[in-house]
Amino acid sequence: MTMDHAQTLPAGPRRSVELDSDEALRLLGSVSFGRIVFTRHALPTIRPVNHVLDNGDIVIRTHEGAALTSRARQADGQGVVVAYEADAIDPDMHLGWSVMVTGYAHLVTEPGELARYRALLNPWVNQTMDYAVRIRPDLITGIRLTAANGIQRSGT
């Protein structure tokens, strides 16, 4: 495998603009892929996952042997602290957005709700995903990267 290490330089400087929580959640709901961050053996662990946004909560599917399933099952009633990040940043133009959510994750245990998430969210991996995890956001932050002159790409 060969890799092209030549990097395209952006057209100019970029400006980082903070997003309000409503806009950040709207953008998060516009994509289906993100990264969940949780602790495993007292160290940060990151997993790429697909998600659905449901009434402001982030829902992912998982399986019996997954570290996140185990952590969420062992957590007390408050849940397990996690972070979730999703973005859409053009790799050539360096324009787009990034959203970070911090909150508590819980296993979805109600059978009707679990069945609903099974129908709404199809895992990308070829593995049985019998569990769903709901993240209730406590802190929602986001940035939009724009050209310093204010021009931005459509759809970002």
| pLDDT at site 64 | 86
Q: How many folded domains does the chain comprise?
A: 1
What 1-9 contacts at long range (C-beta under 8 Å, 24+ apart), as own/partner pairs, is 8/92
In a domain, 39, yes or no: yes
Task: Tell me the CATH number at 33.
Answer: 2.30.110.10
Percent of the chain's residues with pLDDT above 70: 88
Residues of the domain holding 38:
14-145
Q: Tell me the pLDDT band of 154, cut-offs 50, 70 and 90.
A: very low
User: In this structure, how many other beta carbons lie within 10 angstroms of the beta carbon of residue 119?
Assistant: 8
In a domain, 3, yes or no: no
In a domain, 34, yes or no: yes
In a domain, 156, yes or no: no
Judge whether residue 54 has pLDDT over 90.
Answer: yes
pLDDT digits (tens, 9 = 90+) for 5-45: 455 554 678 899 999 999 999 999 999 999 999 998 889 99
Distances (CA, A) of 19 to 31, 66, 116, 141: 16, 32, 31, 7
